[in-house]
Structure 1
Amino acid sequence: MVSLISPMAVQPPVSGQYPQKSLKRDASHLSSPSTQDSLFSSQPTKRLRVAFDDNVDVRIMDDWNTKPVELVREEVRSAIEGHLRTGDEQDNTGYEQLRMIFVGAGTTQDPSRRDSEKAGYADERPNTALLKQYIAALTQRVSELRHCGSLIMAVMDINWVGREETFVATYTRFLAALGSAVPGVLRTVLDRMVRLFVNLPSSYGRILGEPYISRPEMVGRLHGVIRYLQRLIPAVSTSLAEVLRHEFPNHRTVDKRSYVGYVKNILRIAEYAPELKGEILTLITERVIKLDVEVQEEIDDLEEEEEEMVVTGDTEGVDIDDDMSDAESEASSEASVTPEERHLKTLRETVGKMDAILDLLFAHYTNAFLDGTRLQAADTYLHLLSQFENFILPTYRSRHTQFLVFHFSQLSQYNIGLFLDTLVRIAFRRATPSHSALSAIAYLSSFIARGAHISRDTVRDIFVLLGDQLTAFRLAYAPACRGPDLSRYALFYAIAQAMLYIYCFRWRDLIVLEPGQDADADDYDVFEQGEPIWIPGIKEALHQNIYSPLNPLKVCAPPIVSQFAAIANHLRFLYVFPLLETNKRLRLSSYRGIGPQLGTGGVGEMGVGKREGALAGKKGEQHHQLDAFFPFDPYQLRKSGRWMEGDYNVWKGVPGMNNGAEDSEDEDEEESEDEEFYEDEVQDLDAVSESS
């Protein structure tokens, strides 16, 4: 039985794969009498009866607009040579037609897509097979493309990440050849790919007639091409570092998913491009510090309840909001939101971004320490210390970023020692700017006070070291001192405040225990176990410096002074309440600027004004006192806070210490005992001072 293929039997191809006018032409050709006669009839003069047989295998042509390879190559050659010969002075129809093939090929650039529609090519998008032929032909003539900028841009703008594997391989070879042969185009190639880290819609993987490509698969293809180029072209590393910095998104203009996704992807680059690892980590650290400072400045203006909601509340607020797809509900909810609520929501979203980025950094460094060799772990920690010294330490108001070094410094006693050595070097070397020295002392005291893995011996060594430095500064300053003055003796007061702070947290480690006593002295009660024995020298050193003309208890932050006074009194360490009463009648402003200006290796007027950034907002005596700045105060972020488990030394109350619950009769009795203790203590300490 004879089978006849008619236009009605031909299934229409997928929309957009070929021009409609071509279909009409082909169908009319097949249905013309002459064609039927020549193809299907052995007796043209006899009329045939049309019959259909279900057993006949009818096949439909898949690639309606594929062409012979030689024809494609000739089109490319003719178009490029014509353009190079005439440039833009004449009508280069062949070059423009070649360019528009790529413009209409599902480009991701909206302006180009509109150009294709205006030019009449909207219905003539070539399929992947034909595109692959043109890409291969262009690869063979890539050295001639340096003067074909518009064609290059059209090719680079096509949606290639969502196409089938063989096309991606062909396109990758083209990009490699293009980056090697055409000067200046390499950065543009990398820029196009890095931008997709921020904005890569899943719709790119849904090209009509192509298998579905998921977003993770498309991201993997981006990294595959970058890695291929990085191994093939030496200049990629330099250009890529510049692109990564330039394309780092602004946290104000992108959502959380895009912002965090960009950081994830550049950390992934650091894994297969080790020469860029340092620059990438530096870039992320710089950005998260800026985010940290910005958040802290805004949080300082909030009420306590608002601050808790923003920092410890729902840091995943962005994800929740993304689930709201109903436009009317969103519009009505936005209409009912006040400006203050909108501000808190934005701030909460920003905190969520910072929290997620810090969590990524903790995870990245953890993998580097656990998976690498001992030498690699040491290099990683040295790099982290460098980040701390160059970016974190000089930044005032940073609140959470510094916990990276807090956590990883406690992985080993070697790291603890290295971190402390770094802080001591910065704090006490003469070449250190005063604001860096003050910051280093604050970090030193906060680390000793809060680090859960710091040994008793380390606490004692640092406390004695600070006491020696404090005494050295007192001996240098006291002869010319006419009274407490933060602007002149800032480093002295910073050391004194550091010692007071450490004492409040680690007094247990400063007690010399008898054999058989609890090593931690958590339950040490002075009323039950008697007056403690302190490590030699610290009691005398603090007494001499506290009662010196520099009068540190007047300049140090009042909350710390009050807490120290209470604990020191309870533990029979020092009794300073009479001095505190005297200081209430003292006005620091009356001592400012009295006496000669001393050369103190960085301590002076600028040393305080620049570091204590909150001084401008202080009033009265507070303007002349230190801030209670201790950078390792409790970590509050919810997601990344998991890394602090086991690292943090929380505040512990002093056993048997009066918390204000006693009757007035008990308080009077205790006060009389304190006065008797004070008189005896002063006589003993004065004798030590005279002998020294």
Structure 2
Amino acid sequence: MGAELENNQAQLHAMEDVNLTDAQLVDFIRGFLSSVSLGDIDGYNQLVGVIHHRDRLSPDEVALLVTCLKALSGAVSCIDIILHESLLAAIFKMSLWDYGSNVMDALIELIISLAVSNGKYVDSCLDMLVNNFMPPNSYMDLLKKPHGLTRKEEVLSRVHTALKDISDLVPLAPLRLEQKVVHKMQRVFFNESLTTIYVENMLRLEKGALSEFVGRKILTALVDKLLDLDVEIGWDDILQDDFSKGIFEMELEDDDDTTDDINEDSSELPRELSRRSLGGNVIAETLDSLIVLTFEHLESCERDGRLNEVFDILLLSFQRTVLTAYKSKFAQFIVFYACSLDPEVCGARFAISLADMFVSCNDPPLIRMSAVSYLASFLSRGKFLTTSLVTTILKRLVDWCLEYGKTLNVDPNPKAHKVFYSGCQAIMYVLCFRMRSILEIPRLKSQLLLMPIGPLLTHRLSPLKVCLPSIVEEFLRQAKVANLFTPSENFIFNGLLESDYSRSFGGLERLDMFFPFDPCLLKKCDRYLRPHFVYWSMVRPTYDEEEEEEEDDGGSSDEDAEIFPDRIDENLMDDEAMAISYDDQDFDLDSGLNKMSITPRNSLQYRCDFVQMPSRIRPSMSPEFF
């Protein structure tokens, strides 16, 4: 027996003889494979041992492995899925990350040959390649170094080329590949680095030559995964304060213990919403990295002229999953960022689609309420949206709510008319952010003043009693200064600012909605979103006009000049005037907030209830919404 083993080893090493032709090498391997059915497995076992060898290889062992792999590629017709199970298992367990370029090339050639030779091997070949999306755990530190990144590209470029070659040669391979990629993504793993690499490969498939076949399912699966991670982060991980406080209450107390990194961003955060509450949260950090990857992918799609195509998929996925999720915290910013890259098409489509859902009688009430909540938050926070679009959508909401009210002459009932109240609250919320910018454009000002907002809010259904008090108070404060109402309507509203009128009815039945595009608490994401986002420090409420007029010479203070842009010239053409008053401004947000008074100026004129609206609005914690 020892003599036979030595003879088999000698035969294997003889395969490296430079005088042997490729055909002769293949004959050696075929002989080993065929001998198994005759009971002679010694040569076969030696072959399996060469393939299965995992220790560091010497140059001679590398050469032998390459020779065996190449010879196997020519002998795949002799491989039997039952007789040669151990050989196949050894091949499919090989990791490209463990070898140099010669072995990788020979292994990829063998995998493609196996997939093409017999349909029984397609799934195993695809599994092996998808498994190579991620390196072994031992390589994670290496990937932080330049040569590690080089190795990563060497491996992944070969993997994706092989997937493309197999898909070209096996018609059903793309469908099988799509299923495997999605299935593996659904497995929960919270290692940030490994998950990030896997998603990189998913997006590489979506962008690559196989996009036509696998792109839609991959993007949908990615959004689903982001949402899964999102819901793993409970509100208790984020919010740690008294939620009975007003929705526009600002807390900017100094905290000497914050780190430099946190100070960089935290001036825009109420303390209970500080990013520190997510510090060290593995799921949040993983989600942050994945959303940034998706942002960068969307940027590449925009550069390649295929953003609209991708947005179709994202919009459907949003409507199917994110919109119906219980107060999603972060996943929705994928759609927000896509809209920021193409406001005229994607931004308008998103806003119109949400408005369509709200006014549609075919959708369930909770879906319609969620849609108008997203719409209100989107119109308020999207710096890239034109004031013209905002005004058009507002008119549509006002018209629907007024038409709804015409059919009713009943007392307020939040449960029975919750869609109506959600629409009224959305209108007021958007105007808290956008009223002054609309009024500064004559054409849009006329449209706003013609909207029957006064009759709507004085309807017997009493939306001012049901909607969130903080929103009602801020809206009425601005509307009163802007002369938005007729004298008779002002008489009805008179005194509301000095009372708890809207609070007296609400209680637990109050329309306690959340605003999904409140500023993002994920640090990496925020850096991408910030240039496209409206913070409250950017907004000039209408009541600032009165304060400005009280200053000497009717001008603005130096301090305000640094925080706020100049007013839009009313003589601008429509195309120019459509930009809102803060659209093209670069704000120093931290500086602006440091200069902003924590309590309102003219504190004797306004009660302490009306602390200025915050840059971040607390998401509702009440369960009544869903």
Q: Same fold (TM over 0.5)?
A: yes
C-alpha contact (below 8 Å) 1:416/1:454 kept by paired residues: yes
- What is the rounded CA distance, in whole Å, between the counterparts of 2:139 and 2:441 in structure 1? 69
- What is the rounded CA distance, in whole Å, between the counterparts of 1:636 and 1:405 in structure 2? 17
- What is the rounded CA distance, in whole Å, between the counterparts of 2:160 and 2:420 in structure 1? 53
Offset of residue 78 of structure 1: 3.7
- In the comparison of the two structures, how many residue pairs are matched? 502
Alignment-derived partner of residue 336 in structure 2 = 406
Matched to 2:520, the amino acid is Y
Matched to 1:141, the amino acid is A
CA pair 204-83 structure 1, distance change in 2 beyond 3 A: farther
Unaligned runs of 5+ in 2: 242-250, 265-275, 548-598, 608-626
- What is the rounded CA distance, in whole Å, between the counterparts of 1:508 and 1:204 in structure 2? 52
Q: Percent identity?
A: 22
Matched to 1:397, the amino acid is K
CA pair 200-454 structure 1, distance change in 2 beyond 3 A: same
Alignment-derived partner of residue 444 in structure 1 = 375
Alignment-derived partner of residue 491 in structure 1 = 419
Would you say 1:84 and 2:37 are equivalent positions? yes
Matched to 1:420, the amino acid is A
Alignment-derived partner of residue 128 in structure 1 = 62
Would you say 1:350 and 2:283 are equivalent positions? yes
- What is the rounded CA distance, in whole Å, between the counterparts of 1:295 and 1:314 in structure 2? 23
C-alpha contact (below 8 Å) 1:369/1:380 kept by paired residues: no
CA pair 663-385 structure 1, distance change in 2 beyond 3 A: closer
Alignment-derived partner of residue 153 in structure 1 = 89
Matched to 1:168, the amino acid is M
- What is the rounded CA distance, in whole Å, between the counterparts of 2:299 and 2:163 in structure 1? 25
Instruction: Kindly name which structure, 1 or 2, has the bigger radius of gyration based on alpha carbons.
Output: 1
Instruction: Summarize deviations over 1:375-419 as a string: whole Å, max 9, x none.
Output: x34323323322322232222322232223223324242333322
Match of 1:241, SS state, is: helix
Superposed, 1:383-394 pairs within 5 Å as 383-394=313-324
Alignment-derived partner of residue 96 in structure 1 = 45
- What is the rounded CA distance, in whole Å, between the counterparts of 1:464 and 1:181 in structure 2? 64
More contact order relative to length (CA 8 Å, sep ≥ 6): 2
Matched to 1:634, the amino acid is P
Would you say 1:511 and 2:439 are equivalent positions? yes
- What is the rounded CA distance, in whole Å, between the counterparts of 1:203 and 1:429 in structure 2? 53
Offset of residue 263 of structure 1: 1.2
Alignment-derived partner of residue 285 in structure 1 = 223
Offset of residue 139 of structure 1: 2.5
- What is the rounded CA distance, in whole Å, between the counterparts of 2:603 and 2:436 in structure 1? 28
Offset of residue 512 of structure 1: 7.2
**Aligned with 1:458 (options 386, 389, 396):** 389
- What is the rounded CA distance, in whole Å, between the counterparts of 2:141 and 2:505 in structure 1? 72
- What is the rounded CA distance, in whole Å, between the counterparts of 2:141 and 2:390 in structure 1? 58
Instruction: Summarize deviations over 1:325-380 as a string: whole Å, max 9, x none.
Output: xxxxxxxxxxxxxxxxx996541x332222221111111111111222xxx34323
Matched to 2:320, the amino acid is N
C-alpha contact (below 8 Å) 2:30/2:78 kept by paired residues: no
**Aligned with 1:638 (options 500, 516, 523):** 523
- What is the rounded CA distance, in whole Å, between the counterparts of 1:585 and 1:498 in structure 2? 18
Alignment-derived partner of residue 229 in structure 1 = 166
Alignment-derived partner of residue 219 in structure 1 = 156
Alignment-derived partner of residue 397 in structure 1 = 327
Would you say 1:183 and 2:94 are equivalent positions? no
Alignment-derived partner of residue 333 in structure 1 = none
Instruction: Summarize deviations over 1:430-460 as a string: whole Å, max 9, x none.
Output: 2212222111111222222222233333232
Offset of residue 513 of structure 1: 6.1
C-alpha contact (below 8 Å) 1:270/1:280 kept by paired residues: yes
Match of 1:630, SS state, is: coil
* RMSD after superposition: 4.1
Offset of residue 544 of structure 1: 2.5
Would you say 1:195 and 2:141 are equivalent positions? no
Alignment-derived partner of residue 581 in structure 2 = none
C-alpha contact (below 8 Å) 1:80/1:95 kept by paired residues: yes
Instruction: Summarize deviations over 1:613-645 as a string: whole Å, max 9, x none.
Output: xxxxxxxx22x1112422221233322223324
- What is the rounded CA distance, in whole Å, between the counterparts of 2:224 and 2:395 in structure 1? 35
Matched to 2:474, the amino acid is Q
C-alpha contact (below 8 Å) 2:72/2:110 kept by paired residues: yes
C-alpha contact (below 8 Å) 2:457/2:464 kept by paired residues: yes
CA pair 249-218 structure 1, distance change in 2 beyond 3 A: farther
Alignment-derived partner of residue 655 in structure 1 = 544
CA pair 463-95 structure 1, distance change in 2 beyond 3 A: same
CA pair 314-249 structure 1, distance change in 2 beyond 3 A: farther
Superposed, 1:306-385 pairs within 5 Å as 313=262, 345-347=279-281, 349-372=282-305, 376-385=306-315
Alignment-derived partner of residue 194 in structure 2 = 258
**Aligned with 2:428 (options 500, 509, 512):** 500
Instruction: Summarize deviations over 1:42-81 as a string: whole Å, max 9, x none.
Output: xxxxxxxxxxxxxxxxxxxxx7984667886555334322
- What is the rounded CA distance, in whole Å, between the counterparts of 1:660 and 1:155 in structure 2? 71
Q: Relative to structure 2, which stretch is displaced further, 567-576 or 71-80?
A: 71-80
Deviating 4+ runs (over 6 angstroms): 123-126, 202-206
- What is the rounded CA distance, in whole Å, between the counterparts of 2:129 and 2:440 in structure 1? 63
CA pair 470-129 structure 1, distance change in 2 beyond 3 A: same
CA pair 584-631 structure 1, distance change in 2 beyond 3 A: closer
Q: TM-score, normalised by structure 2?
A: 0.70
Offset of residue 313 of structure 1: 4.3
Matched to 2:166, the amino acid is L
Offset of residue 497 of structure 1: 0.2
Q: TM-score, normalised by structure 1?
A: 0.64
Instruction: Summarize deviations over 1:179-199 as a string: whole Å, max 9, x none.
Output: 122333222222223223233
- What is the rounded CA distance, in whole Å, between the counterparts of 1:382 and 1:549 in structure 2? 41
C-alpha contact (below 8 Å) 1:104/1:126 kept by paired residues: no
